[in-house]
Chains A and B, each alone.
Chain A
Amino acid sequence: QSALTQPPSASGSPGQSVTISCTGTSSDVGGYNYVSWYQHHPGKAPKLMIYEVIKRPSGVPDRFSGSKSGNTASLTVSGLQAEDEADYYCSSYAGSNERVFGGGTKLTVL
Protein backbone atom coordinates (compact mmCIF):
# COMPACT_ATOMS: atom_id res chain seq x y z
CA GLN A 1 0.00 0.00 0.00
CA SER A 2 2.59 2.57 -1.06
CA ALA A 3 1.39 6.12 -1.63
CA LEU A 4 1.07 7.38 -5.17
CA THR A 5 3.72 9.89 -6.25
CA GLN A 6 2.75 13.50 -6.86
CA PRO A 7 4.97 16.57 -7.23
CA PRO A 8 4.94 18.55 -3.97
CA SER A 9 4.13 21.79 -5.75
CA ALA A 10 2.89 23.28 -9.00
CA SER A 11 2.16 26.82 -10.08
CA GLY A 12 0.83 28.94 -12.87
CA SER A 13 -0.41 32.43 -13.62
CA PRO A 14 -4.08 33.29 -13.96
CA GLY A 15 -5.41 32.07 -17.29
CA GLN A 16 -2.63 29.55 -17.79
CA SER A 17 -2.90 25.77 -17.67
CA VAL A 18 -1.15 23.49 -15.22
CA THR A 19 -0.95 19.71 -15.11
CA ILE A 20 -0.39 17.65 -11.97
CA SER A 21 0.88 14.09 -12.33
CA CYS A 22 0.13 11.07 -10.16
CA THR A 23 2.37 8.05 -10.63
CA GLY A 24 1.61 4.61 -9.32
CA THR A 25 2.10 1.06 -10.52
CA SER A 26 0.33 -1.54 -12.60
CA SER A 27 -1.28 -2.69 -9.33
CA ASP A 28 -3.15 0.56 -8.80
CA VAL A 29 -3.25 3.46 -11.30
CA GLY A 30 -2.28 1.32 -14.27
CA GLY A 31 -4.53 -1.57 -13.38
CA TYR A 32 -7.88 0.10 -12.82
CA ASN A 33 -9.92 3.03 -14.13
CA TYR A 34 -10.73 4.14 -10.59
CA VAL A 35 -8.52 7.19 -10.32
CA SER A 36 -10.04 10.21 -8.60
CA TRP A 37 -8.81 13.72 -7.80
CA TYR A 38 -9.65 15.90 -4.80
CA GLN A 39 -9.28 19.62 -4.15
CA HIS A 40 -8.58 20.51 -0.54
CA HIS A 41 -8.59 24.01 0.84
CA PRO A 42 -7.05 23.85 4.34
CA GLY A 43 -9.69 23.78 7.02
CA LYS A 44 -12.43 22.71 4.64
CA ALA A 45 -13.79 19.40 3.45
CA PRO A 46 -11.97 17.86 0.47
CA LYS A 47 -13.95 18.08 -2.76
CA LEU A 48 -14.18 15.50 -5.55
CA MET A 49 -13.04 17.03 -8.84
CA ILE A 50 -12.54 14.01 -11.13
CA TYR A 51 -13.59 10.37 -10.79
CA GLU A 52 -13.03 7.24 -12.87
CA VAL A 53 -10.02 8.94 -14.50
CA ILE A 54 -11.87 11.38 -16.74
CA LYS A 55 -15.37 11.98 -15.35
CA ARG A 56 -16.35 15.30 -13.82
CA PRO A 57 -19.06 15.55 -11.14
CA SER A 58 -21.83 18.02 -11.77
CA GLY A 59 -20.88 21.47 -10.60
CA VAL A 60 -17.16 21.06 -11.25
CA PRO A 61 -16.01 23.52 -13.94
CA ASP A 62 -14.94 22.02 -17.25
CA ARG A 63 -11.60 23.74 -16.71
CA PHE A 64 -10.72 20.62 -14.73
CA SER A 65 -9.91 17.49 -16.72
CA GLY A 66 -8.34 14.12 -16.04
CA SER A 67 -6.39 11.60 -18.07
CA LYS A 68 -4.25 8.51 -17.69
CA SER A 69 -1.38 6.92 -19.55
CA GLY A 70 0.05 3.69 -18.26
CA ASN A 71 0.79 4.00 -14.55
CA THR A 72 0.49 7.80 -14.49
CA ALA A 73 -2.69 9.80 -14.13
CA SER A 74 -2.89 13.55 -14.63
CA LEU A 75 -5.12 16.42 -13.61
CA THR A 76 -5.11 19.48 -15.85
CA VAL A 77 -6.50 22.81 -14.71
CA SER A 78 -7.03 25.20 -17.60
CA GLY A 79 -7.70 28.92 -17.37
CA LEU A 80 -6.28 29.09 -13.84
CA GLN A 81 -8.22 31.20 -11.36
CA ALA A 82 -7.25 32.46 -7.94
CA GLU A 83 -9.77 30.15 -6.26
CA ASP A 84 -8.02 27.12 -7.77
CA GLU A 85 -5.16 27.60 -5.31
CA ALA A 86 -5.39 24.57 -3.04
CA ASP A 87 -3.91 21.16 -2.31
CA TYR A 88 -4.77 18.46 -4.83
CA TYR A 89 -4.72 14.73 -4.11
CA CYS A 90 -5.06 11.78 -6.44
CA SER A 91 -6.39 8.42 -5.34
CA SER A 92 -6.63 5.02 -6.95
CA TYR A 93 -8.20 1.67 -6.26
CA ALA A 94 -5.33 -0.70 -5.50
CA GLY A 95 -7.06 -4.06 -5.69
CA SER A 96 -8.04 -6.31 -2.80
CA ASN A 97 -10.58 -3.69 -1.73
CA GLU A 98 -7.85 -1.20 -0.83
CA ARG A 99 -7.42 2.44 -1.78
CA VAL A 100 -4.27 4.53 -1.98
CA PHE A 101 -3.79 8.30 -2.09
CA GLY A 102 -1.01 10.45 -3.43
CA GLY A 103 1.10 12.67 -1.19
CA GLY A 104 -0.61 15.81 -2.47
CA THR A 105 0.37 18.76 -4.65
CA LYS A 106 0.15 22.36 -3.51
CA LEU A 107 -1.09 24.44 -6.44
CA THR A 108 -0.13 28.10 -6.32
CA VAL A 109 -1.72 30.69 -8.58
CA LEU A 110 0.95 33.33 -9.11
Chain B
Amino acid sequence: EVQLVESGGGLVQRGGSLRLSCAASGFSFANFWMTWVRQAPGKGLEWVANIKQDGGEKYYVDSVEGRFTISRDNAKNSLYLQMNSLRVEDTAMYYCARGKYDNDPWGQGTLVTVSS
Protein backbone atom coordinates (compact mmCIF):
# COMPACT_ATOMS: atom_id res chain seq x y z
CA GLU B 1 0.00 0.00 0.00
CA VAL B 2 1.32 3.43 -0.95
CA GLN B 3 1.51 5.46 2.25
CA LEU B 4 2.86 8.75 3.57
CA VAL B 5 3.07 9.45 7.30
CA GLU B 6 4.02 12.88 8.64
CA SER B 7 5.46 13.61 12.07
CA GLY B 8 7.25 16.34 13.96
CA GLY B 9 4.49 18.90 14.40
CA GLY B 10 3.76 20.58 17.69
CA LEU B 11 3.52 23.85 19.59
CA VAL B 12 6.38 26.31 19.16
CA GLN B 13 6.90 29.95 20.03
CA ARG B 14 7.17 32.65 17.42
CA GLY B 15 10.71 32.73 16.10
CA GLY B 16 11.31 29.09 16.92
CA SER B 17 12.09 26.10 14.73
CA LEU B 18 10.59 22.72 13.91
CA ARG B 19 11.57 19.88 11.62
CA LEU B 20 8.80 17.92 9.97
CA SER B 21 9.34 14.43 8.61
CA CYS B 22 7.39 12.34 6.13
CA ALA B 23 7.97 8.59 5.93
CA ALA B 24 7.10 7.03 2.58
CA SER B 25 6.34 3.37 1.92
CA GLY B 26 4.84 1.19 -0.78
CA PHE B 27 6.50 2.91 -3.76
CA SER B 28 9.90 3.82 -5.18
CA PHE B 29 10.37 7.07 -3.27
CA ALA B 30 13.52 8.02 -5.15
CA ASN B 31 11.60 8.15 -8.44
CA PHE B 32 9.18 10.90 -7.49
CA TRP B 33 9.07 14.63 -6.88
CA MET B 34 7.70 15.33 -3.41
CA THR B 35 5.67 18.26 -2.13
CA TRP B 36 4.64 19.94 1.12
CA VAL B 37 1.20 21.58 1.29
CA ARG B 38 -0.35 23.32 4.31
CA GLN B 39 -3.80 24.32 5.47
CA ALA B 40 -4.22 27.07 8.04
CA PRO B 41 -7.23 26.80 10.36
CA GLY B 42 -10.41 27.59 8.45
CA LYS B 43 -8.46 28.31 5.26
CA GLY B 44 -7.75 26.55 1.99
CA LEU B 45 -4.77 24.56 0.87
CA GLU B 46 -1.49 26.31 0.14
CA TRP B 47 1.48 24.88 -1.75
CA VAL B 48 4.61 25.28 0.37
CA ALA B 49 7.54 23.62 -1.38
CA ASN B 50 8.62 20.77 -3.60
CA ILE B 51 11.81 18.86 -4.34
CA LYS B 52 13.11 16.89 -7.29
CA GLN B 53 13.90 13.19 -7.13
CA ASP B 54 17.63 13.72 -6.48
CA GLY B 55 17.17 16.79 -4.32
CA GLY B 56 18.88 18.93 -6.93
CA GLU B 57 15.93 21.28 -7.45
CA LYS B 58 13.88 22.84 -4.68
CA TYR B 59 11.12 25.46 -4.94
CA TYR B 60 9.21 27.45 -2.33
CA VAL B 61 6.23 29.72 -1.99
CA ASP B 62 7.41 33.29 -1.48
CA SER B 63 6.15 33.50 2.10
CA VAL B 64 8.53 30.76 3.34
CA GLU B 65 11.52 31.39 1.06
CA GLY B 66 14.65 31.78 3.19
CA ARG B 67 12.98 30.40 6.33
CA PHE B 68 11.98 26.86 5.32
CA THR B 69 14.18 24.19 3.75
CA ILE B 70 12.86 21.09 2.03
CA SER B 71 15.12 18.05 1.84
CA ARG B 72 14.96 14.31 1.36
CA ASP B 73 16.89 11.15 2.17
CA ASN B 74 16.17 8.58 -0.52
CA ALA B 75 18.02 5.87 1.41
CA LYS B 76 15.56 6.36 4.27
CA ASN B 77 12.49 6.98 2.05
CA SER B 78 11.97 10.22 3.92
CA LEU B 79 11.05 13.80 3.17
CA TYR B 80 11.75 16.70 5.53
CA LEU B 81 10.77 20.31 6.07
CA GLN B 82 13.04 22.39 8.30
CA MET B 83 11.08 25.41 9.47
CA ASN B 84 12.98 28.31 11.05
CA SER B 85 11.93 31.79 12.18
CA LEU B 86 8.39 30.55 12.54
CA ARG B 87 5.57 33.08 12.44
CA VAL B 88 2.06 32.91 13.86
CA GLU B 89 0.78 32.75 10.28
CA ASP B 90 2.68 29.50 9.74
CA THR B 91 0.17 27.78 12.02
CA ALA B 92 -1.37 25.03 9.89
CA MET B 93 -1.76 21.37 9.20
CA TYR B 94 1.20 20.35 7.04
CA TYR B 95 0.75 17.57 4.49
CA CYS B 96 3.36 15.77 2.45
CA ALA B 97 2.30 14.48 -0.94
CA ARG B 98 3.82 12.66 -3.88
CA GLY B 99 4.22 14.44 -7.19
CA LYS B 100 5.10 17.80 -8.74
CA TYR B 101 2.19 19.01 -10.88
CA ASP B 102 -0.45 16.98 -9.06
CA ASN B 103 -0.32 15.08 -5.83
CA ASP B 104 -1.28 11.51 -5.02
CA PRO B 105 -1.31 10.24 -2.37
CA TRP B 106 -1.23 12.62 0.58
CA GLY B 107 -0.44 11.92 4.19
CA GLN B 108 -2.84 12.60 7.05
CA GLY B 109 -0.89 15.70 8.07
CA THR B 110 0.93 16.99 11.13
CA LEU B 111 -0.24 20.07 13.01
CA VAL B 112 2.08 23.00 13.62
CA THR B 113 0.97 25.70 16.04
CA VAL B 114 3.03 28.85 16.45
CA SER B 115 2.20 30.88 19.54
CA SER B 116 2.83 34.57 20.01
Contacts and interface: CB of A to CB of B under 8 A. Distances in A.
Interface string B58-88: 0101100000000000000000000000000
Interface residues of B, number: 24
Contacts of B109: 45
A57 B101 CA distance: 14
Given A36-B103, A51-B102, A3 B44 contact: yes
A88 B8 CA distance: 27
B45 interface: yes
A105 B100 CA distance: 23
A91 interface: yes
Contact of B102 (A1, A3, A91, A102): A91
14 contacts: A1-B62, A3-B44, A34-B101, A38-B103, A45-B95, A45-B106, A46-B95, A48-B104, A52-B102, A57-B104, A101-B45, A101-B47, A103-B43, A104-B45
